[in-house]
């Protein structure tokens, strides 16, 4: 699996921080894992050569930050 994951590259990885309240919808393991998993993903992304950002804050702030990062990729000369 790792070889398959390593073979794929993307122009941008967007990681959502865990500062939005947890809603237990029955599909995730639980709130107690959020910080640990987010840090795991942050470390894994830092080890990759591709660009990554972490979006934080309200849902609107997250959407704005992600959209701005994508726009910079798409609109760059």
Residue 26: band (very low, low, confident or very high) from pLDDT cuts 50, 70, 90: confident
Spatial distance between the Cα atoms of 18 and 21, rounded to a whole number of angstroms: 8
Question: What mean pLDDT do residues 50-59 have?
Answer: 97
Question: What mean pLDDT do residues 21-27 have?
Answer: 87
As a three-state string, the secondary structure of the chain is CHHHHHHCCCCEEEEECCCCCCCCCCCCCCHHHHHHHHHHHHHHHHCCCCEEEEECCCHHHHHHHHHHHHHHHHHCC
Query: Does residue 29 carry a pLDDT above 80?
Result: no
Residues sharing a CB contact under 8 Å with residue 77, sequence separation 6 or more, in sequence order: none
- Please tell me the predicted confidence (pLDDT) of residue 31: 86
């Amino acid at each position: 699996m790792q070889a398959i994951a390593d073979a794929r590259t993307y122009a941008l990885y967007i990681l959502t921080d865990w500062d939005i309240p947890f809603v237990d919808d029955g599909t995730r393991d639980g709130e107690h894992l959020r910080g640990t998993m987010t840090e795991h993903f942050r470390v894994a992304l830092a080890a990759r050569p591709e660009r990554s950002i972490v979006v934080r804050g309200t849902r609107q702030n997250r959407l704005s930050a992600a959209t701005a990062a994508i726009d910079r990729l798409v609109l760059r000369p």
